[in-house]
Structure 1
């Protein structure tokens, strides 16, 4: 089987969707963790960062347990949509969200913590609501950190392999991403195809990390 652009297109699509989801989740989580007094904050943050240290196969296994055909959530999804979540594109997106979330959360949190508290206090004295402060002060002043988080999360999702393989599978033309295409190209002796995918992956990752470093330098 020759080289196909489908894994490249799917990887970009999955990474973009995962990044958008992690952005909103990370934004909310970072704001709550920075601005609210929550009991067990250390435990919650430890859970947030677990995907960075857990083997991808463990993450994939947990996703199957939570969303698989034998789980309550999985059965509800199957009743609503008429099919299982396993071995689908949404499964690949969920796997990418889980593994890339910690990077987004940490970057946004760092940006929020860098905002001078006196500016926030002054805005409160002038009658600004928490919602206005978040949208008009905190987020604009954290833009560079947020951009870094977006780039790093996209890059992490772009290179995801283990959890995606277990949860979404490797179905050519359906759920096969660049990472799984590389693995199975090598396994089947199609080294040339593997090199194509490797080259594309390195190029994308280099460009994104270069942009991220440029943003950091300008901070």
Structure 2
């Protein structure tokens, strides 16, 4: 049984992860299509920037977010003054950090699905007079559907486990920015709180395992569907 504080951390993590995935999904599809289908000078740089959060220490990513979207950052100040959107020390900032950290995983899964699609299927639709956007919506998108869902699951699991960038950007405020990972960290620093840390660790492990298993199943299904098996 989880305590009220533990349920709060779990529910906040679920909300943060869901918002992060849904908000970044359109950009992930666009980025994956760009990397899979376009060839132009500078594509390697764009590819590197998209996957940079995978190689950077999460604390560095969080600090860059703080500089950019904090109350004194150029983007954060503009959004706060003109749109009333505040990220620093808010759950929305935790969602932004989670989206940035999970974005490369989503892009990679969608890109692999796009590269597995037989181009002749799209060419056949084009020869029948379909416009490129219609071809993508009616032919490509259904074929890469499992890849999109797989990427969303991986990004969701990554967002659920995000810690370094989140705590650097929005701190560890109970009920506001204290996610599952932050709560586990807090309990490990408290004497006699091993039981709470173990409970939340078990929840995190279960969520991650389910996400990986679902992603692998969807990836196999997508490969079979794209190959026509």
The answer to whether the superposition gives a TM-score over 0.5 is yes
1:205 aligns to 2:213 (yes or no): no
Q: Say what the alpha-carbon RMSD is for the aligned residues.
A: 1.5
Cα distance, 1:174 vs structure 2:
1.2
1:111-130 correspondence runs (5 A) = 111-130=113-132
CA shift in 2, pair 1:43/1:78, >3 Å: same
Specify the alignment match of 2:12 in structure 1: 10
- The number of residue pairs the alignment matches comes to 218
TM-score for the superposition, normalised by structure 2: 0.90
Give the secondary-structure state (helix, strand or coil) at the position aligned to 1:175.
coil
Deviation per CA, 1:94-140: give whole Å up to 9, x if none.
10111000011011111111111111111111011111111111111
Deviation per CA, 1:145-182: give whole Å up to 9, x if none.
22211111111111000000011211111110000000
Cα distance, 1:83 vs structure 2:
7.2
Cα distance, 1:214 vs structure 2:
2.2
Q: Which blocks of at least 5 consecutive residues in structure 2 are unaligned?
A: 224-229
TM-score for the superposition, normalised by structure 1: 0.94
Q: Distance in 2 between matches of 1:217 and 1:82?
A: 44
Cα distance, 1:34 vs structure 2:
2.6
Q: Distance in 1 between matches of 2:145 and 2:87?
A: 35
User: Among residues 204, 209, 218, which one is paired with 1:215 in the alignment?
Assistant: 218
Specify the alignment match of 2:80 in structure 1: 78
Q: Which blocks of at least 5 consecutive residues in structure 1 are unaligned?
A: none
8 A Cα contact 2:86 2:93, kept in partner: no
Q: Distance in 1 between matches of 2:84 and 2:172?
A: 21
Cα distance, 1:81 vs structure 2:
5.3
Structure 1 window deviating more from structure 2 (138-147 vs 160-169): it is 138-147
Specify the alignment match of 2:107 in structure 1: 105
CA shift in 2, pair 1:122/1:217, >3 Å: closer
